[in-house]
Structure 1
Amino acid sequence: MATERVTERSDGQTTERVVERDVGGGTTYVEKRGSGLGGIMVGVAVLAMVAIVAFFLLQANRNDALQTQAVTSAASSVADSAATAAEGVSDAAGKAADAVTPAN
């Protein structure tokens, strides 16, 4: 018949459980389970990586928005300059036409 011996230890941060099973014939199976800071440290590292990636993605989105705003502003400025130039050409053409037309 199989005998089983269970040993549990805890130091406040790490808990370890060892199960030894003697199945006869000199064969012993040992099963170890533990929990502790390893899982917590991995969780904190994953959380930090997610926060860093989110920060860089938000910065990239902000930079794209600023670049789009700058291009839009420049295009508006060029359009305003072209409209002013067109008005100037129109006024000059009107004055030139008045100067060429003979007075009756």
Structure 2
Amino acid sequence: MSTERTVEHPDGRVERITENDRAPAPTIVERRSGGGMGGIVALIIGLALVLVIGWFLMNMNRNDAIESNAVAGAAESVGNAADNIGEAARDAVPERATPAN
């Protein structure tokens, strides 16, 4: 008759041992290893993803600010041009003489 037992080690390894009582047979040990590396890799990938998304959001915010400043500068230039045209028109018209009563 064969006896099967499972041994769990503190480091997470699991051994399944099968013993045969009829004849001295070799002990079969099955090991499961590699626990923990998948979690570390997933954590690193997640952190890199967060950093890339943050970088894109910061650049988008910076581009919006640059665009807003450019629009404000253009509006100010248009205002200055209108003032200059108004002054030129005022200077081009000769002053009228006021009629004497």
TM-score class normalised by the smaller sequence: 0.5 to 0.7
Q: Are residues 65 and 6 of structure 1, via their aligned partners in 2, closer, same or farther at CA, if it must alter by over 3 Å?
A: farther
Aligned amino acid, residue 87 of structure 1: G
More strand by share: 1
CA deviation profile, 1:41-95 (whole Å, cap 9, x unmatched): 1111111001110111011101100110111111001000000000111111112
- Structure 1 CA distance for aligned equivalents of residues 85 and 93 of structure 2: 12
- Structure 1 CA distance for aligned equivalents of residues 76 and 68 of structure 2: 12
Q: Where do 4+ consecutive residues of structure 1 move more than 6 Å?
A: none
Unaligned runs of 5+ in 1: 21-29
Unaligned runs of 5+ in 2: 18-28
Q: Percent identity?
A: 16
On the 8 A contact 1:6/1:19 being kept in 2, the answer is yes
Structure-to-structure mapping, 1:1-104, within 5 angstroms: 9-11=8-10, 14-17=11-14, 32-95=31-94, 98=95
Calculate the aligned-residue CA RMSD, in Å: 2.9
- Structure 1 CA distance for aligned equivalents of residues 30 and 7 of structure 2: 12
Question: What TM-score do you get using the length of structure 1 for normalisation?
Answer: 0.64
Question: What TM-score do you get using the length of structure 2 for normalisation?
Answer: 0.66
Number of the residue aligned with 1:27: none
More helix by share: 1
Superposition deviation, residue 6 in structure 1 = 7.9
